[in-house]
Chain A
Amino acid sequence: MEEQQAIQRLKDDDIGGLEFLVACHQVKAVRTAYLITRDLGLAEDIVQDAFLRAYRSIRGFDSTRPFEPWFMRSVVNASVKTMQRSARQVEVGEDADETIFTELASRVESVESQVESIEVQNQIWDAMQKLSPRQRAVIVQRYFLEMSEAEMAKESGTAVGTVKWMLNAARERLRGLLAERSEG
């Protein structure tokens, strides 16, 4: 079954269409939400809700357009909103317990050949924790979902200047945090 067929089936109230869309998009969607929320359970809840919202609003969806950008917008927005509403800023600041970093690192597989990249990943993961949910979202949209600034502007409903500014601010902050950790 092609995606457009699945969407049409869903528009015709055939739930099999949704099952197809879930199978196609769930992993990438949960990973996107996870990178923003940092909690697998929350990420799964967010994506489940997003699929249910898609199910309810599919009749308003222009099926000549691809499903993924439309759906991922919903996932990203819901992830940011969830984090903002919950005010969940997990502060791991300068005075934070260093054992957190050690324990996080210890959970990572220690294949020797991957040490460098794993270290880099951990640094990025830790640094991203210090970004705001919105900043994390723009990083995830740009680098994980590989959206262009134009697409990000369109998807977020803001001016492209705002997207550029947010992306730049997030990148600068991330760069600074990574530099701090490298020097430390």
Chain B
Amino acid sequence: MNDKRMKNALENIARRGVPENTNLWPNISARLERKSLMMTLRTRPVLLLLTILLALTLLTGVVYAIGKSLGYIPGVGFVEQNAPVRVLAERVSIQRDGITLTMKQAVADSAQTLVMYRVKGVSILRGAAEQQCTEAPALLLENGVRLESTDGYLTNMSGENGVLNFDANFTFPSLPVGVTKVTLIAPCQLPTLTLQLVPAPEGLVLPATEIASTFESSRPLLPTPTLVAGLETPASAVYPTDFPATPTPVPNGSGLYLEKVVELENSYLLVGNFTDAGDLPGLLWGGAAEESIPYEFHVTDRNGKPVSFSFRPDLMPPSGWSNVTYWALEVRKPLDAPVTITLPEIAITIDDTFQFPVDVGANPAVGQTWPLNQTVQVGGYSFLVEGITRTERGYRIKLRSPLSREYAFYDLQLEEYIAKEGYENFYDRKGYFEMQETLVFKDGLPSGALTFTMHIYVETQAGPWTLTWSPPAKP
């Protein structure tokens, strides 16, 4: 199958599935309105002052969290215990047209109400959304008050033989004290379901305390080293230098930040983030970072010995910031503090574009070469562009690279012409790597004054990044 046929097929499939009159703006603007209160608060002078004070504190490398008494239910998360916590008395289900909704848990604390259920048997052919199965449910109190969800997500989706199953977790405002019965207005056009709540049985809610803690973080020297002696550092970077919006102030620039520490009986739960503050010497791509950063830590004690810990992705809050990657660890007691959390390195991409004007004349001969012998630098690495050669059906550029193929990529274009195809040859020479990029033209060979554009990407590592943390001393 050729590229065009594939392209057309995907276009048509997408057109059939997604109408041209799709309009997301009403939903997006509604969600923005819900957040407007938060935005208003952000702009209030008092809060701004607090933020500045916090930022000044962070500049010293130390932040003090505010102590708070919490509870922790494994598999559910943190709960606040300013009032007795109520949970679902027993699992209940409803069923219709082959779709079953089973309420797995409901937890009502003084701050919010969480409902967790599993939906099974949704027809893939009819689509989950078309059957209103992905819609948020609502809660109806006995006094007629209806509560709408404030947050939620679907997870653990699986499907086979034409049916789809998934878990749903939705958050609602807190229930009034004393309420022990609510009605779930279920999705999927299912009948309503009565949820009976009882005080949380002893032992379900583990004691947990959000503790005052301190941390210091360090970052590696940036940018990355130059391999070839005598080369100058690139004159300018094209990457953004403004600090983007982040959940925590980042006066120390890119690096590890600790947001929350919760003490359990036998361990500590640490939730933090790696923030790209826009000051990296290259681009850290969010998608790749989210897949790698949270799972590449190691933890050592004050003597440098490894500390037993586990990754806790279930505690990582969803990130609303593309430049913020959350992580969450559970570190076992006892600890020989301080402990150091280390992210060995992050992969960043540095790129630059260079143009090489060459007049090949009206009738360039096969094998004819136009020497360039120009040195270009990307990310502190030096590349020698040797020259351009006329091939049987196109042109080839040859360059010497200090980096192997895994860490450098080259994209050659000819201005104002579209090559039918391109290919590359790569050779490991003694002391350097040779890269040949070739453009092939189908309908006539371009000639005369030509401008070749070479885009060079360098993938490099930056690290280590560390965060040192100590639990507070016991009184």
Contact = CB atoms under 8 A, between A and B. Distances in A.
A73 B287 contact: yes
Given A22-B28, A48-B28, A120-B9, A90 B287 contact: no
B24 A44 contact: yes
A181 interface: no
Contact of B124 (A80, A90, A117, A158): A90
Interface in A46-90: 47-48, 51-57, 59-62, 64, 73-74, 76-78, 80-81, 83, 85-90
Given A22-B24, A30-B22, A160 B457 contact: yes
Contacts of B20: 27
A89 B347 CA distance: 29
A81 B158 contact: no
Contacts, number: 213
Most chain B beta-carbon neighbours within 10 Å: one of A74, A88, A175: A88
Nearest to A137: B287
Nearest to A151: B411
Nearest to B126: A103
B97 interface: no
Given A73-B287, A74-B286, A43 B18 contact: yes
B12 A117 contact: yes
B127 A40 contact: yes
30 contacts: A19-B25, A26-B24, A27-B18, A31-B14, A34-B14, A39-B129, A40-B129, A40-B130, A41-B127, A48-B31, A57-B245, A60-B240, A60-B242, A62-B238, A73-B285, A73-B286, A86-B158, A86-B166, A96-B161, A99-B162, A146-B7, A148-B411, A150-B457, A154-B283, A154-B351, A156-B288, A157-B287, A157-B288, A161-B406, A178-B1
Interface in A129-163: 139-140, 143-144, 146, 148, 150, 153-161
Interface in B111-129: 124-125, 127-129
B53 to A, nearest CB: 22
A39 B17 CA distance: 9
Contacts of B129: 39-42, 44
Interface in A154-176: 154-161, 175
A118 B127 CA distance: 20
The B contact surface, by secondary structure, is mixed
Given A15-B32, A40-B127, A153-B409, A53 B9 contact: no
A80 B15 CA distance: 20
Nearest to B287: A77
B25 A22 contact: yes
A51 B290 contact: no
B138 interface: no
B258 to A, nearest CB: 21
A35 interface: yes
B157 A88 contact: yes
A7 interface: no
Nearest to B347: A157
B294 to A, nearest CB: 12
A41 B278 CA distance: 33
Given A73-B286, A87-B156, A153-B409, 6 more contacts: A40-B129, A41-B127, A60-B245, A89-B158, A99-B162, A150-B457
Most chain B beta-carbon neighbours within 10 Å: one of A15, A35, A41, A146: A41
Contacts of A183: none
Contact of B349 (A88, A104, A157): A157
Interface stretch (B62-70, B316-324, B392-400, B443-451): B316-324
A167 to B, nearest CB: 12
A77 B322 CA distance: 11
Size category, B interface: 35 or more
Size category, A interface: 35 or more
Closest 7 CB pairs of A and B: A41-B129, A60-B244, A157-B285, A77-B287, A86-B157, A157-B288, A88-B157
Contacts of A146: 7
B12 A175 contact: no
Nearest to A125: B13
Interface string A96-107: 110110011000
A124 B13 contact: yes
Contacts of B8: 117
A60 to B, nearest CB: 3
B245 A121 contact: no
Contacts of A53: 320-322
Contact of A59 (B25, B245, B406): B245
A57 B242 CA distance: 11
A26 B323 CA distance: 22
Most chain A beta-carbon neighbours within 10 Å: one of B13, B29, B156, B409: B13
A124 B124 contact: no
B134 A52 contact: no
A108 interface: yes
A117 B286 contact: no
B320 A56 contact: yes
Nearest to B318: A49
B417 interface: no
A23 interface: yes
A45 interface: yes
Given A48-B27, A74-B286, A91-B160, A59 B244 contact: yes
